[in-house]
Structure 1
Amino acid sequence: MTYLVECDQGLNDLATGLFRVFAQFEYCLKVTGYCVASSGDAANPDWTRFARELPPLTGSADPGVAEAISYVLGNPPKKQVYANNVLQWRVVAPQAENENDLILLYVRRVRNNLFHGGKFNGRFFDPERSTELLKHSITVLMAAIIMSPVMLEAYENRTD
């Protein structure tokens, strides 16, 4: 008996791609000093400081990046909440320091919704929207890597 659920291969590939790029992105944040310690000295990426120090993502000359940012800001991922004993989706604008921070917070929300089971239970909910959010989140992460010389160096020369 197999427990693997069949679903759209394109969405599976995008989800896998997002997880890979996201993991590599957080690795690069930590090894380039965008890192903070939490309880027990756990190493956590410092997304906010990175967003603050990164040139504006909206300044990218790549039209694909502009399209990705426009989509993410215009169709932000919703936040799954638990209110009155019911799971719900809400449009919740995160508290952000600047536009880069907001864009990267939305990308993290896309990843969190997928990883923590909010958007996938053997099938993707709203597959067209999921496709766009996954695709554009990958584009944003790669643009941020390319726009940061230290991140690009870490990404291209992955070492332990």
Structure 2
Amino acid sequence: MPRTDASSRSSRWSIVPRALALGVAAGCRSTLAVAAPALAPRPGPTATPSRSGAARAAAVLAVAGEIAGDKRPEAPSRLAGPGGALRVTAGAVGGVALARRRVTGPGPAVAAALAGAAGAAAGAYGGAAWRGLAVGRRPDWPGAVAEDVVALALATWAVRR
């Protein structure tokens, strides 16, 4: 029978800030929403990989491809067309994936989906604003690299054990 004391309830809902952080990372680099949970070790006493070697390689390649593609001058705005909606969806999916790894029950999963979606919206708009400020008369790539570092750090924190 699951515990229902205050510490158990608190730990069930501690997924929300992690889902929010993963969502912000997804707003910056959408592939991180699914790749970070797939690459992270399973929670628990042993640090076993959460996916097969092929799935992990595909996740790494997807993130690397997005990071590299984002540096190209012809890359479209993350807010143009369906880009913003796809990032919000990715944030929600990442929140659910994160919740399913750590807690049970629909409540925390729904809260994690909402937090991931909200974080992705904030990350998409915040990242676009950052890039606009960082560019000025300089090349775009230093601002993009700084954004990559922040997104990777947030995703890493979100999935850490």
Global fold match (TM > 0.5):
no
**TM-score (ref. length: structure 2):** 0.30
Q: Which has the higher strand share?
A: 1
Higher relative contact order (CA 8 A, sep 6+): 2
* TM-score normalised by structure 1 residue count: 0.30
